[in-house]
């Protein structure tokens, strides 16, 4: 994804083997166009999308930089995902790099291409559980090295963590 110079828009370009995802993601953005937790779709083509450029910090970056993540953020993410579900979608692939917190402390979720998958995705529920079981505890470190987060993600993808 690239910011379009001197605008508040970004262009997301898809490689030839993934052009079908551009159409799918554009359709999903049309479904959630009235939900403020998601970027607005301005244009779409066979291999690109033009959406809001979201200036913010991902939850992944919050963890690696030690920027506190409040319970309000977790609650806003739940609301955003519930609103997408009310539109008939099945939010999937919701992870630390797809959730941003803006300077105004607003939550934005990007990369919604998998929101029509039929399988149950527990990724957000697992992240939320980790937030309440570990992160929220006073003694838990609020700054975690990137290599550790990436290692945890690899173990999670291999179903070695639960």
52, 61, 78, 93: which is the annotated catalytic residue?
93
Give me the count of residues in the chain.
Answer: 162
Q: Has 111 been annotated as catalytic? A: no
Q: Which residue has the tokens 């290692």?
A: 151
User: Which residues make Cβ contacts (< 8 Å) with residue 4, sequence separation at least 6?
Assistant: 10, 11, 50, 53
Query: In the chain, where does DSSP find H-type helix?
Result: 19-31, 59-65, 71-86, 123-130, 146-157
Rounded Cα distance, 130 and 115, in Å: 22
Hey, CA dihedral for 38, 72, 62, 104, is it positive or negative? positive
Rounded Cα distance, 108 and 73, in Å: 10
List the catalytic residues: 93
């Amino acid at each position: 994804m690239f910011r379009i110079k001197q605008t508040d828009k970004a262009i997301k370009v898809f490689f030839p083997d993934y052009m079908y995802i551009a159409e799918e993601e554009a359709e999903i953005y049309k479904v959630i166009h009235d939900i403020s937790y998601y970027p607005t779709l301005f244009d779409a083509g066979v291999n690109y999308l033009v959406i809001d450029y979201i200036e913010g910090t991902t939850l992944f970056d919050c963890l690696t930089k030690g920027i506190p993540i409040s319970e309000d953020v977790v609650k806003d993410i739940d609301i955003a995902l519930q609103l997408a579900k009310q539109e008939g979608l099945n939010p999937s692939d919701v992870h630390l790099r797809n959730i941003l917190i803006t300077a105004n402390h607003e939550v934005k979720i990007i990369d919604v291409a998998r929101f029509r998958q039929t399988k149950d995705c527990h990724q957000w529920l697992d992240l939320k559980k980790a937030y309440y079981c570990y992160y929220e505890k006073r003694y838990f470190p609020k700054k975690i090295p990137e290599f550790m987060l990436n290692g945890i993600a690899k173990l999670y993808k291999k179903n070695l963590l639960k």
